[in-house]
Structure 1
Amino acid sequence: MYFVTGTDTDSGKTLISSALLALAHGNKCGFKPIASGCEPTPDGLRNTDAQALMAQSNMGLSYQQVNPIAFEPAIAPHIAAQQSATVLDAKAVVSHLLSTPMLTADFALIEGAGGWRLPLGHHQYLSDSVKQLDTYVQTHRGERVGVILVVGMKLGCLNHALLTLQAIEGDGLKVVGWVANQVDANMSEIAANLASLQQMITAPYLGYVPYLVQPSAEQAATYLRFDAISLEGN
């Protein structure tokens, strides 16, 4: 079971999550528990990130199972929640995930929103949900929730990556792999920045995805080393 987080909003979490799902075998499912910027449809609010994960999953989950908390405004979820009188609660996120067939999957992936410290309001963060889920699966299954970090390659990414890594490890979670995903087509010194990250991050390196004009899960998957994800302790 894996949680995908990023160094920032628009770091490429959905692209990398979809690519990893495309590479996975067996029963696989992806989740986007909280999403902003959803589009109204006759069937309710729909989020393109959640739909991208569903396209690479094969367990027939409903949209509501994949994305239970959806907001139309493309703003911070806790602000959207305040505006719609919705209560965001870390425990409720975990309860929802555990109510799905997630634990029966061969490969289950949960995509976060924003970065690791996404606020839920009332002094709670989405990272609290990950910690609670990790505690549950440790207690009941003897497993861990592995964190996969997506580094959005742009100016400032070194600082963002190291701070995010520090926060994840400080919360007692393990980064089982990281991906460098180029989000700025004109970023200078890509090779030098990538070399610096590889030197400073000891977690398994899953690959570098260059800037893609028309990105797809299948295309991004060709740049990833799925078998490099560290399962030690997971």
Structure 2
Amino acid sequence: MNAAYFITGTDTDVGKTTIATGLLYAARQLGKTTAAGKPVASGCEVTPKGLRNADAVALLAECSLPLSYTQVNPVAFEPAIAPHLAAREAGVELTVQSLLAPMQQLLANQADFTLIEGAGGWRVPLADQANLSDLAKALKLPVILVVGVRLGCISHALLTAEAIARDGLSLAGWVANIIDPKTSRLEENLATLAERLPAPCLGRVPKLKQPSAEAVAEYLQLDLLD
């Protein structure tokens, strides 16, 4: 059975791609075909083949289907700024529709396990009053939430979960990514998240010196997803 999820985070730089690659690796180890999308990415490097985003490249490396870079990341901007600002500077109208078609085409490949990774947190602006969360709504995908565990993460996680529910989407699971291992009352914070988030915890990933997809996958439980 094909499964696809939209993966988001409590904020930017909370390890969405790190967790996404771990989930994709875990799926591949179970013999599943995998695909991934990063519909829009800013902070890209200029290469002879065009703009390349490190997160999208990492996702592509964990795709078992023979996808091109553009299929994974159809819209890329060089400045490491909010996507809607980068689009404005580039003279590009960043709409839900412009991102929807390539992601629908990616999903049409019907990999056993597909992840569509957002940018930043849940309410990342696009053109006009649209947000990247509107893309998740248009795709009608269940959501995996990466919680960057540090001071303040409980409120960020609960507010994100509330916004996901308000948008009519289901929270399929969440992952505790320990950004700050010195967080005061770490265990109590994790217990509170587990009590209050309305979905299973798919894993608790410690701060790793070398957070490879293989290393991260060891801490994840894919079987807890519906």
Quick check: TM above 0.5? yes
The equivalent residue for 1:198 is 194
Q: How does 1:41-80 map to 2 (within 5 A)?
A: 41-80=47-86
Q: TM-score, normalization: structure 2?
A: 0.94
Which stretches of structure 1, 4 residues or longer, exceed 6 Å deviation after superposition?
Answer: none
Which residue, out of 179, 186, 191, partners 1:183?
A: 179
Q: How does 1:13-92 map to 2 (within 5 A)?
A: 13-24=16-27, 25-92=31-98
One-letter amino acid of the structure 2 residue matched with residue 221 of structure 1: A
Aligned residues: 220
Residue 146 of structure 1, CA deviation = 1.4
Distance 2:207 2:106 in 1: 34
Deviations 1:124-150 (A, max 9, x none): 10111111111xxxxxxxxxx210000
Distance 1:180 1:100 in 2: 28
Q: What SS does the corresponding residue of 1:218 show, helix, strand or coil? A: helix
Residue 103 of structure 1, CA deviation = 4.4
The equivalent residue for 1:107 is 113
Q: TM-score, normalization: structure 1?
A: 0.91
The equivalent residue for 2:13 is 10
Residue 104 of structure 1, CA deviation = 1.6
One-letter amino acid of the structure 1 residue matched with residue 173 of structure 2: G
Residue 119 of structure 1, CA deviation = 0.4
Q: What SS does the corresponding residue of 2:118 show, helix, strand or coil? A: strand
One-letter amino acid of the structure 1 residue matched with residue 91 of structure 2: A
Question: Are the aligned partners of 1:29 and 1:102 in contact in 2 as well (CA < 8 Å)?
Answer: no
Kindly, what percent of the aligned residue pairs are identical?
Answer: 53
Gaps of 5+ in 2: none
Distance 2:33 2:97 in 1: 26
One-letter amino acid of the structure 2 residue matched with residue 203 of structure 1: A
